[in-house]
Amino acid sequence: MAPKAEKKPKVEKRVPGKEGETSKKKAKKSNETYKIYIFKVLKQIDPDMGISSKSMSIINSIINDIFEKLAGESAKLARYNKKPTITSREIQTADALTQAEPQVVDLKTRLEQQEAETCEADSKLKLGLEKSEKLRAGFST
């Protein structure tokens, strides 16, 4: 087997600056976002519509949160089923489960609202009965 050739040492790239000062170029950190795709979908829906950068970052955060929830739930399902890989089946099930969560919370909120309305109606009914009894007592004398 032939010996491998030695690699040349890497040369630092210098950025022009103050005299005598040497610095390396900073590698640009890639920041993955869904902004391009959000914008493309927006233009498909309404070509004349625009979106502010703040709104775009909010929608991007929402999509990242959804993705993280789906990934976490899919991983849990794969672990429960003792499978080493996440398949489309786990992702679909995770999607159904994560979509069901707000409905459960919404039902709980509705029940609490109905309970509060019932209590309020009961208190109004009691006040009405007390007033009517006072009126009856006033007429009977």
User: What distances in angstroms separate CA 123 from CA 13, 14, 64, 109, 114, one per listed residue?
Assistant: 79, 79, 46, 21, 14
Please report the sign of the dihedral spanned by the C-alpha atoms of residue 65, residue 66, residue 68, residue 72: positive
pLDDT, tens digit only, all 141 positions of the chain: 455 555 556 656 555 655 655 667 788 777 888 999 999 999 999 999 999 999 999 999 999 999 999 999 999 999 999 999 999 999 999 998 888 766 666 777 777 888 888 877 778 778 777 877 777 777 765
CA-closest candidate to residue 73, choices 55, 86, 58: 86
User: Which pLDDT does position 22 carry in this prediction?
Assistant: 63
Q: In this structure, are residues 74 and 86 in contact, taking their beta carbons and an 8 Å threshold?
A: yes
Give the position of tokens 């950025």.
15
All structural domains of the chain, each given as residue ranges with its CATH number in brackets, are: 35-134 (1.10.20.10)
Q: In this structure, are residues 70 and 94 in contact, taking their beta carbons and an 8 Å threshold?
A: yes
CA 92 – CA 94 distance, rounded (Å): 5
pLDDT digits (tens, 9 = 90+) for 21-51: 566 778 877 788 899 999 999 999 999 999 9
